[in-house]
Amino acid sequence: MVDEETDKALKRNTPCVNGRYSPDASNAEQVRKQFVILEEYAKLKGLTFVEVDTSNRLSMEFVDAFHAFHRYCYMCGLIKPDRCHHCMSCGACVVKYDHHCPWINKCVSYANYKFFVLYLFYSCVLIAWCVLTSAECIVRYFVRQRWLDGLPHFILVSAAVILCMVFSYYPLGQLLIYHFKLASLNETTCEQAKPPNIRGDPKADYNMGTYRNLRAAFGWGLWLFPVETHVNDGMHFPIRYTIAATGVKYNAVSVKTSV
């Protein structure tokens, strides 16, 4: 957490829109001042306020045009790592923030993303099992061909199966498919809504290939089991940059630095 003087200096140089500080609304001069304030604070404390990767993408030449390095939370007074966002519902900054889920009453993030996806998967499996076992009654009804015998039971079970499929399996199944696609691309729901501007490169992303992306999301193994299998710390991520001249993507592994 930064000191009070640094916090006030940052707020003086950041536009306030609708009662909230908005660094995205800053002009080039304000962005430069914000950068300098954080840089001076980092030097004073012996810290690196944003990680510098192997391509040395962090440099002042990018600051005039981009706000990508402005990783300060005006509500928490914290310098944030990449992919960390402030959750208004929880009132705190969350590492690798995906979204705030009202059904589990907490944020889906680095700490519990695997468990959230498994929750969706297990729910879909349970619903599928209920539908299949209930279908036995429907099949038996047609096999016996006693149309009036057991008709109320048949209608009740059929309605339950249809309702289960429409109101349970469909939304949960679609959500599971959506998050599996996100994991395979190494993206979050938040990043889908607003693509990140990584190190001043709007075309850069965290996509390291399907297997490595899934491994980053679900860990080193035991993907179908609710056990912690993290392979990173949730604050440092490999980045895939774009060569401006050719448009070709290449990987650059971030250097871990303390914040």
Tens-place pLDDT, residues 62-98: 443 334 455 788 888 887 888 889 998 998 999 999 9
The residues facing 17 across adjacent strands are: 20
101 is catalytic: yes
CA dist., res. 2 & res. 4, Å (int): 7
* pLDDT, position 54: 47
Catalytic hit among 76, 87, 101, 164: 101
Q: What are phi and psi of 193, to 5 degrees?
A: -70, -40
What average pLDDT score do residues 126-131 get?
A: 82
**Of the candidate ranges 23-32, 96-105, 146-155, the one whose mean pLDDT is the lowest:** 146-155
Nearest-angstrom CA–CA distance, 42 and 90: 27
Report the distance separating Cα 103 and Cα 228, nearest Å.
21
Give residue-wise pLDDT tens across range 36-54.
888 788 778 776 554 444 4
- Residues 137-147 have pLDDT tens digits of 777 766 776 66
